[in-house]
Structure 1
Amino acid sequence: MTPPPIQTLEHARRVLHIEAEAIAALASRLDARFEQACQLVLGCRGRLVVTGIGKSGHIARKIAATLASTGTPSFFMHPAEAAHGDLGMITPDDMVLALSYSGESDELITLLPSLKRLGVPLIAMTGNADSTLAREAQVWLDAGVAQEACSLNLAPTASTTAALALGDALAVTLLDARGLNAEDFARSHPGGSLGRKLLVRVRDVMHGGEALPVVSEHAMLRDALVEISKKGLGLTAVTDAAGKLIGVFTDGDLRRALDRGIDVMTTPVGQVMGRSPVAIGADHLAAEAVALMEKRRIFALLVTDNGTLVGALNMHDLLRARVV
């Protein structure tokens, strides 16, 4: 027998409304217990070991990853494996965050005597204040929901969403309490695009030394043309006798000079250079160089230190560094 058709969008919106309401209800129920949990974690000298079984285990694994990436040393421990040796991962300096909506998961309850012997503090995240896990914990975090988003009110849906959101609230609150900044966060993400944008500096990608295109203001245009061609950045910096940046000469400047009939053999570059070169400091983020180049609609950029020329880069360098 063919099942009756469902109102697809209406059904999906119902699920999202139920889950959104579950998270909103969590916010209204946050109290001193959440603050106590944060203080316990901040005072922990070891790691926050996160554990859970089934769907709660999947959420626990994600929470552990979020904690670790936001400045709280953390890892996931499978409770079934813990009962067969992995409990050795935990040291007396650690603490445990256990997730179970019922608070009665056998695999977690089995661990309680061992955790007590170790003297490890326990934070329980459950939907049942009267559960074994909640009663045995130093702090209970209320992750209860009014109903699951499943039409049968059986499949973990709203409850797992609520637990994940509560874990995020814990991780981000701890991040702020530790005073971590964007650079600290990036150190945990060096391999991704976020890490590159927050860690790569202009000095890491610029051309310097012999690779830096530069001529003096008294050099002839032909010398500037040779320098541009030799260094391959589409420009050359122009400096005074003290090495201070005073101008820039680009491929575009050359074309305009030729259109005006200027003799490249006898004209000093100082007569036709751009006198307001766009520059950036070597310690700036490479992502800032990208933003500046996009704003000024230029393809290359000079790098200075207190007005002294130290480098140059173009968009190809930023692309190779995968900052763009």
Structure 2
Amino acid sequence: MKEHPEKTLELARAVLETEARGILDLCERLDEAFVRACEHLLGCTGRVVVTGMGKSGHIGGKIAATLASTGTPAFFVHPGEASHGDLGMITPGDTVLALSNSGETDELLTILPLIRRQGVPLVALTGNPRSTLAREATVHLDVSVAREACPLGLAPTTSTTATLAMGDALAVALLEARGFTAEDFARSHPGGRLGRRLLLHVADIMHTGERIPMVRADAALTDALLEITRQGLGMTAVVDEQRHLVGVYTDGDLRRTLDRGLDIHATRIGEVMTRQCRHAQPGMLAAEALKLMEDHKINALPVVEHGRLVGALNMHDLLRSGVV
């Protein structure tokens, strides 16, 4: 490869172009069968059972995972194991999604009578519309390709890519039909960054109780500086007698105070605090608080509910929570 880099790149481009054409060809063949397949999958009161052998099985596993994470309960069953007991996983109310490029995979054909006996719909994705699996299916989707990207024409390449793309098309069509939202997606991915961004609220990570940095408006500036240092959030909220937020004082405000030449020992916090300050609310998404900080170039926020100070957070809290 080091001796012929251009040949290597040429081959790679040919593979990508061949597979891209294979997917584009599917667009021209989409018809009423795709709509009926979606109707069966959408009307499934149980789960979508995806099955396939070999490389089709690997693709089937991914399709099942995509369906499950986008609002359509689904799981993968190995057809070889299905005829040895795992077929019991298929129950009335389910829908079977079977993948086979040839449409003549022995392990799938073996369990066809058992699927039919269950009375569940069978949606088949094959590369041969005249195959046994295609004929026996309730709905057949043609995922045939002109040729594989493999130079030998043997390794499943374009065919598996086309099948995967059709599976994605089904999943997205169902997602849209169900009104599936980003919040729904996050609930099935609570451990991921997206889940944290969409599910984590300010109330989940803010400092509360004695950990809230705050001083009264008539406090000495030196007391406010001690509070900032003690709590370590880079700011302190300034409140009135009823704990209503009236301002904030930050590290940046301290620099501006020193630039003005004010005596920090003789100055009250109410004289130098920022009155029109940004703040968060407990029910706000942590990601919204992050955007507020980024938009206004600030590193900490007091948290206010009904005008009263109830918490505080800074950028480090967002970093620790995984929102950033």
Q: Which residue of 1 aligns with 2:200?
A: 200
Moved more, 185-194 or 243-252: 243-252
State the superposition RMSD in angstroms.
1.6
Distance in 2 (CA, whole Å) between partners of 1:108 and 1:145 is 21
Q: Which residue of 1 aligns with 2:118?
A: 118
TM-fit CA distance, 1:244: 2.5
Deviations 1:83-132 (A, max 9, x none): 11111111112110000011000000001011111111100000111111
Distance in 2 (CA, whole Å) between partners of 1:24 and 1:303 is 51
Deviations 1:227-259 (A, max 9, x none): 212211111011233332221101222233244
1:316 aligns to what SS in structure 2?
A: helix
Q: Identity rate of aligned residues, in percent?
A: 64
Deviations 1:178-207 (A, max 9, x none): 111111100110111121111111111111
Question: Structure 1 residues 6 and 240 mapped into 2: Cα distance closer, same or farther (>3 Å)?
Answer: closer
2:280 aligns to what SS in structure 1?
A: strand
TM-fit CA distance, 1:314: 0.8
Amino acid in structure 2 at the alignment position of 1:202: V
Q: Which residue of 1 aligns with 2:249?
A: 249
2:125 aligns to what SS in structure 1?
A: strand
Distance in 2 (CA, whole Å) between partners of 1:120 and 1:74 is 14
Moved more, 146-155 or 75-84: 146-155
Q: Which residue of 1 aligns with 2:161?
A: 161
1:280 aligns to what SS in structure 2?
A: coil
- Structure 1 length as normaliser, TM-score? 0.95
| Unaligned residue ranges in structure 2 (runs of 5+) | none
Amino acid in structure 1 at the alignment position of 2:57: G
Distance in 2 (CA, whole Å) between partners of 1:304 and 1:144 is 59
TM-fit CA distance, 1:224: 1.0
Q: Which residue of 1 aligns with 2:66?
A: 66
Distance in 2 (CA, whole Å) between partners of 1:133 and 1:59 is 17
Distance in 2 (CA, whole Å) between partners of 1:260 and 1:57 is 71
Distance in 2 (CA, whole Å) between partners of 1:219 and 1:98 is 73
Matches within 5 A, 1:174-323: 174-323=174-323
Q: Runs of 4+ in structure 1 displaced over 4 angstroms?
A: none
TM-fit CA distance, 1:58: 0.5
Distance in 2 (CA, whole Å) between partners of 1:251 and 1:163 is 57
Instruction: State how many pairs are aligned.
Output: 321
Deviations 1:28-66 (A, max 9, x none): 211111111111111111000000001101000000000
Amino acid in structure 2 at the alignment position of 1:121: P
TM-fit CA distance, 1:297: 1.8
Distance in 2 (CA, whole Å) between partners of 1:279 and 1:119 is 59
Distance in 1 (CA, whole Å) between partners of 2:174 and 2:126 is 20
Confirm or deny that 1:93 pairs with 2:93.
yes
